[in-house]
Amino acid sequence: MGAQKTLERVISKAGLGSRTQARSWIHAKRVRVNGQVVENPDHWIDFDRDRVEFDGKPLRIREKVYLLVNKPTGYITTFKDPEGRPTVYDLIGAVETFVSPVGRLDLDTSGLLIMTNDTQLAERLTNPDHHVAKTYVVECGGVIPEESIRLLRNGVELNDGPTRPAAVKRLGGSGASTTLEIVLTEGRNRQVRRMIEAVGSKVVALTRTQIGSIAIGQLAPGEWRPLTPVELDRLRRERS
């Protein structure tokens, strides 16, 4: 696990549960460090030297888990929601090891979500320096003219700066809507929606279909499966 981390992060990264759960367990006196109960979640731990126990048993780092989830609209990607909305964790209840989403999809966005307890892979896929492509299919209100598509390809100005050039393809449309495929190599908050708004339209529906070379394929909304060893190898090498 390397270097020093707070006790709550050590428990979460070991795959036992979320950081919120870890804090509650620590406050409940269920965690010992070197034989002593520690009630401070921010207590610093060197996992290579300190002995951590949970409910009297040594804390062990669980094996790495990699899931591909097809998130439906109406689900959020946090562990729990104060408003009681469904979360992606409701979909993967059979998975015993705690995993985190790699990046986020907002409530009204569906599609491919990778979930893992491998923080190194997660950082690689989300760090914009690695230029890992994310592919979206977006249905926009009204007709999107070619000039707007050209702007999207070259980069549009947002309130947090201009976007990187994007690959944009027109997939179809009618007078009421236009369907585009947009491939990004960065992942700002609500970026696709803001890009479409910047060219004078609105997103009607948004689905992420691919991360790097990994596609959602035939996985139905609400379903999940483990990533295959071949897919994992491709993800670890991914770079645009």
Q: Report how far apart the first and last C-alpha atoms of the chain are (Å, whole number).
A: 29
The pairing of beta strand 52-54 with beta strand 31-33: antiparallel
Instruction: Express each pLDDT in 171-229 by its tens digit.
Output: 998 889 999 999 999 888 899 999 999 999 999 999 999 999 899 999 999 999 999 99
Same fold for the domain at 4-58 and the one at 66-128+214-237? no
Quote the CA–CA distance of 178 and 174 in Å, as a whole number. 6
Q: Which fold has domain 66-128+214-237?
A: Alpha-Beta Plaits (3.30.70)
Domain positions in the chain: 4-58, 66-128+214-237, 133-211
Give yes or no for residue 240 having a pLDDT over 80. Answer: no
Residue 140 tokens read as: 């926009």
Residue 100, classed as helix, strand or coil, is strand
Pick the CATH number of 4-58 from 3.20.20.140, 3.10.290.10, 3.40.50.11720, 3.30.1370.30: 3.10.290.10
Which of the residues 46, 90, 106, 108 is marked catalytic? 106
- Please state, in angstroms and rounded to a whole number, the distance separating the CA atoms of residues 16 and 29: 16
Q: Is the pLDDT of residue 2 over 60?
A: no
pLDDT in tens, 20-75: 888 999 999 999 999 999 999 999 988 778 889 999 988 877 788 999 999 999 99
Q: Which residues pair with 6 in a beta bridge?
A: 44
Distance CA 14, CA 136 (A): 32
Q: pTM of the entire structure?
A: 0.79
Torsion angles phi and psi, residue 235, rounded to 5: -65, -40
Residues recorded for the chain? 240
Closest CA to 103 of 90, 116, 85: 116
The pair phi, psi for residue 174, each rounded to 5°, is -140, -170
Residue 11's pLDDT is 86
The confidence score (pLDDT) of residue 118 equals 87
- Fold of the domain built from segment(s) 133-211: Alpha-Beta Plaits (3.30.70)
Q: What is the tens place of the pLDDT at every residue in 106-120?
A: 999 999 999 998 888
Beta bridge mates, 225: 68
> How does residue 3 score in pLDDT terms, banded at 50, 70 and 90?
low
Is there a catalytic annotation at residue 233?
no
The answer to whether 134 and 164 have CB atoms below 8 angstroms apart is: no
Q: Please state the rounded mean pLDDT for residues 86-106.
A: 90
Beta bridge mates, 207: 110, 137
**Gyration radius from the chain CA atoms:** 21
List pLDDT tens digits, range 143-180. Answer: 999 999 999 999 999 999 999 999 999 999 888 999 99
